[in-house]
Structure 1
Amino acid sequence: MSTLSVPPVPTSPRDDAIALYRAFKGFGCDTAAVVNILAHRDATQRALIQQEYRVMYSDDILKRLSSELSGKLETSVLLWMHDPVGRDAIVVKQGLSSETKNLQAATEVICSRTPTQIQCFKQLYHSRFGVPLEHDIEMQASGDHKKLLLAYVSTPRYEGLEFDREITAKDSKALFKAGEKKLGTDEKTFIHIFSERSRAQLAAIISAYHDMYGNSLKKAVKGETSGLFEYALLTILSCSENPARYFAKVLHKAMKGLGTDDTTLIRVIVTRTEIDMQYIKAEYLKKYKKTLNDAVHSETSGHYRTFLLSLLGPNR
């Protein structure tokens, strides 16, 4: 469920384009006005604003925003201007580019999305950047991490809630044999099961593994693998059980301790606002006894803070 609040009576994209043009005009930018408009428009409205702005002023509003805003606010707003599929494609492309390489971010997006979401952003990725997603994974990732990502983006998986008990028992045994039972690890088995099984099937495997061997599959993954391969496997596992809880943990980690990991904070809040942020907020409160809004408020400031809090909606 989305946390985005839009005006009860929609404003016309033309009026918004005019208001934004006025906010850009003169000395300095009326940043408060820009934030107030864009943080309260859904993906369709934002796309229409971009069209109107181009028609009326023969100018690209994204370029204009880039020149008028700066720092973390600029990063947040520019990512927000795209629709959810476009944002996923952009985050993954930046993560797989030599100049802005962030394999963890690319891995998070790929391994936390449903097969349908992956197919959608794969198509957009190819048309927008001129290369298939697999090509960039091949170039930038390595080893078992690369093999898992390639398998994960190209395997169609069932998205329903049903699972097969026989497969559950068989896969649990296979994972135990491939990991805890042997010296060394048979990574191929982990890649095969994690990339081919549905979320419901993996959730059932987590439960069966614990019943059969008295240990958690997550602990087994942590003991048997490392680095980005481990990170990818754990992301797939966590999202098979509860994606909202997974993102609540990612956000908490980004704000824990000294300093804030703003890159992660922006990525998760901006990409999940229109998807499942209500659930993430509920999980955050349940796990950390503090609202996500309060945590973000204490870690950010200025228009950047206002923008993120606007996306998060009321503090409850």
Structure 2
Amino acid sequence: MSTITVPPMLPPVQQDCQALHHAFKGFGCDEKHVIQILAHRNYLQRRELVNAYRSMYGEDLLRRLEKELHGNLEQAVLLWMMEPAERDAVLIRDAMKGLGTKDKTLIEIICSRTPSQLYYIRQAYQTKYHRSLDKDIQSDTSGDYRKLLLAFASGQRPEGPHVDMHLADADARELYRAGEGRVGTDESTFIRVFSTRSAAQLHAAFAAYKHLYKRDIDKAIKRETSGDFEDALRLIVKSATRPGRYFAKVLYDSMKRMGTDDSTLIRVVVTRAEQDMQYIKADFYQKYKKPLESMISGDTSGNYKHFLLSLVGGH
């Protein structure tokens, strides 16, 4: 459910390259023309454009964009032009490098991606940074939170829509016995169930939990866990049940206060535009009674605003 619009009759990729090269010439970059092209090409078309530009001009298009653009627009466009797995690898590395860890970003990327996406992210991380994602997670996190991230990042969960209702019922009962049904919490059971079941299977288990115990699993997690471990478990629940609502809240929170959390706004818009942004927009409107486009328009400006609106299907 992508929100980007691609022209029905695309010009040849060489023509796009020539137009971009012309936009870079002279005093200052013609940012509007760059956006007009890049924001309206899908991932495969952008990759073809990068290869063709290098062939025609002997120059890396991303490095040229880095020279020509500035600020939030530069950050957004550069992320947009990366391959999805490389982009997520960059976001993960940025979340862990330096002093302190941006745990919300780390949790969002690892716990909302599919097993196949995580497989390619791990490869991209190793290729780009010559580092093991597992070892970096190991050194930057701790406790049950670390165990959950490592188990989830391994990408060993099954995918697909198949659901075993008997297993869902058994998992619901086991999660209850590990949490609300005892004194203290058996975190290892939560980690095992959450990291070895497909999203569809987890969705069924959470529905069974509510049917059996008249309580949402999310509320049980809030009562039984805390900190980053709680945040990661709750994001897995939301990703399995209604990811659009989760990302709608992240976007709203990035813009609701004085000043905009641009890094979060950019991250979510760029990473979800070709995934499920239509669903996110619908959930955003349902929850906050305003279009996502209007809130972006009110919180950003200039060509940065123009680029974000182009990605979310605004005008």
TM range (shorter): over 0.9
Query: Is residue 72–residue 304 contact of structure 2 (8 Å, CA) maintained in 1?
Result: yes
**What RMSD, in angstroms, separates the aligned Cα atoms of the two structures?**
1.8
* TM-superposition CA deviations, 1:259-312 (whole Å, max 9, x none): 222111111110111111112112222222211111111111111100000011
Q: Which residue of 2 aligns with 1:18?
A: 18
Q: 1:260 and 1:57, CA in 2 relative to 1: closer, same or farther beyond 3 A?
A: same
Determine the C-alpha separation between the residues in 2 that align with 1:68 and 1:145. 41
Is 1:136–2:139 an aligned residue pair?
no
Tell me how far 1:155 sits from its aligned partner.
4.6
2:163 corresponds to 1:167: no
User: How big is the shift at 1:314?
Assistant: 4.1
Aligned twin of 1:300: 300
1:217-255 Cα offsets, whole Å, 9 max, x none, are: 101111221221111101100011122222122212222
Can you give the 5+ residue segments of structure 1 that lack an aligned partner in the other structure? none
Q: Aligned residue for 2:310?
A: 310
Partner of 1:2: 2
Per the alignment, residue 89 of structure 1 pairs with: 89
- Tell me the distance in 1 between the aligned counterparts of 2:258 and 2:175: 38
Specify the SS of the correspondent of 1:259: coil
Q: Which amino acid aligns with 1:150?
A: L
1:242 — aligned with what?
242
The aligned residue for residue 61 of structure 2 is: 61
Say yes or no: does 1:256 pair with 2:256: yes
Task: Give the match for residue 224 of structure 1.
Answer: 224
Asked whether the 8 Å contact 2:111–2:235 carries over to 1, the reply is yes
- Structure 1 moving runs of 4+ over 3 Å: none
Of the structure 1 ranges 55-64 and 134-143, higher mean CA displacement relative to structure 2 is found in 55-64
User: Could you tell me how far apart the structure 1 residues matched to 2:159 and 2:60 are?
Assistant: 38
Q: Is the 8 A contact 2:116 2:155 kept in 1?
A: no
Residues in 1 aligned to 2:161 and 2:23: alpha-carbon distance in whole angstroms? 48
Q: Does 1:34 align with 2:34?
A: yes
For the residues of structure 1 that align with 2:12 and 2:88, how far apart are their CA atoms? 27
Describe the shift of the 1:258–1:182 C-alpha distance in structure 2 as closer, same or farther (beyond 3 A): farther
Identity rate, percent: 49
Once the two structures are overlaid, the 10-residue window that deviates more, 185-194 or 200-209, is 200-209
Aligned pairs, number? 315
| TM norm structure 1 | 0.94
Query: 1:152 is matched by which residue type in structure 2?
Result: F
CA deviation map 1:86-111 (0-9, x unaligned): 22222122222226942321210111
* Separation in structure 2 between the aligned mates of residue 221 and residue 48 of structure 1, nearest angstrom: 45
* Structure 2 contact 114–159 (Cα < 8 Å) conserved: yes
Partner of residue 208, structure 1 = 208
User: Which whole-Å CA distance do the structure 2 matches of 1:42 and 1:167 have between them?
Assistant: 39
3-state secondary structure, aligned to 1:55 = helix
Write the distance in 1 (CA, Å) between the matches of 2:12 and 2:245.
Answer: 37
CA distance in 2 between partners of 1:133 and 1:123 (Å): 9
The 2-side partners of 1:308 and 1:116 are apart by: 27
Distance 1:45 1:168 in 2: 41
The Cα offsets for residues 141-173 of structure 1, whole Å up to 9 and x where unpaired, read as: 221111001111225222222322332222222
- How far off its partner does 1:36 sit? 1.4
Show the 5 A alignment for 1:157-196.
157-196=157-196
Q: Tell me if structure 2 keeps the 8 A contact 1:84–1:274.
A: no
Q: Which moved more, 1:163-172 or 1:67-76?
A: 163-172
**Does structure 2 conserve the Cα–Cα contact (< 8 Å) formed by 1:221 and 1:230?**
yes
Distance 1:18 1:155 in 2: 41
Residue 3 of structure 1 contacts residue 311 of structure 1 at CA under 8 Å; is this kept in 2?
A: yes
Q: Does the CA contact (< 8 Å) of 1:94 and 1:100 recur in 2?
A: no
